[in-house]
Structure 1
Amino acid sequence: MTVADLLPWLTIPAAFALDAMLGDPRWLPHPVRWMGWTIAKAEPLCRKWIADERLAGLCFALGLIVGWWGLAALVVGVGWRLHGVIGFAVETVLLFYCLSARSLGQAAMAIHRSLAAGAVDQARSEVAMIVGRDVERYQAGDIARATVETVAENVVDGVLSPLFFAAIGGAPLAVAYKMVNTLDSMVGYKNPRYLLFGRAAARIDDASNFVPARLAALLIGLAARLCPGLDARRALVTAWREGSHHGSPNAGYPEAAFAGALGVCLNGPNYYHGVLVDKPYIGIGLGAVESAHIPLACCLMTRTALLGCGATWLGLVAAAIL
């Protein structure tokens, strides 16, 4: 077996290593920003061309997802045909853009530092950059809880789901998933503007994360054994017992596993765009979230991501051998 034969097997660990080293540097062009641009440009066109909002939203979502998958597949295919090293580089970079473990940890730790310094207003501004809820009235405990919840939920969106789809269909399918996730974050709201138009995007996102979210609970439980002071057994028990106690069919499982591992209560009612959403609590009977839980959550996220990368790579190797 030559080095060229090994290159396709190395794209996932190489992309993961790039994310661990670089995160999301501002100076690099990022496809997710381009995805956001195409979403913003395509929405008014679909609304104009198709009168039925549900049908318009479905065509809008499917067109963008398939279009980005096709573009990524074309670029990757051309790269591999030109040379193995070029194909490896292109696919690795595309998959790197789909991962966000380091940037998520950096954002969370910046909030932790602000809270530790007593700069609650600054921490409030920082948490507003990573959550979609109204945070104007949040105090230190609320900010810490929102941060931990975001770390827990995004370990799926930002790491495990992209790896899952990369294992199935390489970087192009991971790029397609990233468009699914971006669509949901931009139009998947239950408000008058997007209740019908964004429904397809939200449902596709739910379906895409169904398996990764449940695998995440197991990986988080295993990762908790690698973080001093966390409770692996309680993570698994809480995920099993309370994972379905969430408005989302998927977000509750990683959040419940984090709640159990950290020994804290998450979720609960929150305001979104001025509307109170009465979400159930997860981690019932456990303690309140404090700033000190943020580094522990980041530790848990990092180790979960490492296990996810390793499991994905081993799964590919096992599938090839069998």
Structure 2
Amino acid sequence: MELSLLAVILGFVLDLIVGDPHWLYHPIRLVGHLISGLEKLLRSIFPKTEQGELIAGGFLLVLTAGITTAVAWGLLLAAGLVHPYLRFALEVIMCYWVLATKSLKTETMKVYDALKEGDLKKARFAVSMVVGRDTEVLDDIGVTKAAVETVAENASDGVIAPLLFLMIGGAPLGFFYKAVNTMDSMVGYKNDKYLYFGRAAAKFDDVLNYIPARLSGMLMCGAAAFCGMDSKNAWRIYRRDRYNHSSPNSAHTEATAAGAMHIQLAGNAYYFGKLYEKPTLGDPDRPVEYEDIPRVNRLLYATAILSLVVFGLVKGIVLWLI
């Protein structure tokens, strides 16, 4: 088996076993520090006009993605000069850093545990760690929906999309994707501060996720069958509701999960004290319940494993043909 493919597989397994322990400093946080530092620098250089902020945001995108990818590539090159197996071991770890399957489950199961204990305040705090919306006014069902939605949505950009980029270009391309996705999560807001400065990052993130989001939705439809869920209804809702979001990519897996579990997700939500009217995803065939959090995590794992198998087979065939 080609070593880069094996590195992705082992990194995937390592992520499922270890996740992201809080005591261990995650290298993606360095990307966040880089973005914050470059933002301050670029804002001090370029004029505070619409055009100036657009240009500054473009430089942020190029510099962040370029530096992150170059560092990842350079580290692997240096490790390879020492010994090929050191390079392989480093790439396994780097692939593990790019993926976030277990961390999604771990953080949302904290919400589930708090809800089961009847501690709504603790559940609100736990879900506030993984969603961007205001959580102070959410009731127990609102908290549950928020947790389910974040697993469903992040199944694509937190797991399937980075896995696809790792399969295509190894750890450097995986870090390239994570750099852009991290920029989008930090500056890709449509508010007064980031409407122009964050536009380049947001638009490029949309481009990078265009194919992965659609693959993720389709793979999740297939994975639903392995979880004892309704894959036929998942496909129906996916086709009907996948564009019920302001982002061209965000609703694909969320709509699929709603269909697979026969629940309704999304709808209006508060962000930074302002109510945003959003369309719903899925049909309210039954009420949302606490158990939907472990259910959607089972769907996440099934989708991730199916994606690994499909992407791995495709890459294996391509390598064999070459």
TM-score w.r.t. length of structure 2: 0.96
SS of the counterpart of 1:225?
Answer: helix
Superposed, 1:12-51 pairs within 5 Å as: 12-51=8-47
Deviations along 1:237-286, whole A, 9 cap, x unmatched? 11011101111110111001000001110111111112221111111343
Larger mean Cα displacement after TM superposition, 117-126 or 287-296: 287-296
AA in 2 matched with 1:169: G
- Contact 2:259-2:283 at 8 Å conserved across structures: no
Deviations along 1:282-318, whole A, 9 cap, x unmatched? 1134333211111110100011011111112111101
AA in 2 matched with 1:217: G
Structure 2, unaligned runs of 5 or more:
none
AA in 2 matched with 1:33: R
Structure 1, unaligned runs of 5 or more:
none
SS of the counterpart of 1:276?
Answer: strand
SS of the counterpart of 2:118?
Answer: coil
Q: Paired residue for 2:219? A: 219
Displacement of 1:168: 1.6
Distance (whole Å) between structure 1 residues aligned to residue 35 and residue 298 of structure 2 = 34
SS of the counterpart of 1:111?
Answer: helix
SS of the counterpart of 2:226?
Answer: coil
Superposed, 1:1-322 pairs within 5 Å as: 6-51=2-47, 52-228=52-228, 230-322=229-321
Distance (whole Å) between structure 2 residues aligned to residue 184 and residue 162 of structure 1 = 14
Deviations along 1:189-214, whole A, 9 cap, x unmatched? 11100011011111111111111110
Displacement of 1:22: 0.5
TM-score w.r.t. length of structure 1: 0.96
Distance (whole Å) between structure 1 residues aligned to residue 68 and residue 263 of structure 2 = 39
- Contact 1:66-1:176 at 8 Å conserved across structures: yes
AA in 1 matched with 2:190: K
Percent identical across equivalent pairs? 39
AA in 2 matched with 1:192: D
AA in 2 matched with 1:65: A
Q: 1:189 to 1:169 in 2, by over 3 A?
A: same
Distance (whole Å) between structure 2 residues aligned to residue 238 and residue 76 of structure 1 = 43
- Contact 2:258-2:264 at 8 Å conserved across structures: yes
Larger mean Cα displacement after TM superposition, 120-129 or 239-248: 239-248
Displacement of 1:26: 2.1
AA in 2 matched with 1:321: W
Deviations along 1:147-167, whole A, 9 cap, x unmatched? 000000111111111111112
AA in 1 matched with 2:77: G
AA in 1 matched with 2:195: L
- Contact 2:258-2:282 at 8 Å conserved across structures: yes
Displacement of 1:6: 4.1
Displacement of 1:7: 2.7
Displacement of 1:8: 2.6
SS of the counterpart of 1:107?
Answer: helix
AA in 2 matched with 1:269: N
Distance (whole Å) between structure 2 residues aligned to residue 285 and residue 114 of structure 1 = 24
CA RMSD of aligned residues (A): 1.2
AA in 2 matched with 1:132: G
AA in 2 matched with 1:31: P
SS of the counterpart of 1:74?
Answer: helix
Distance (whole Å) between structure 2 residues aligned to residue 288 and residue 203 of structure 1 = 35
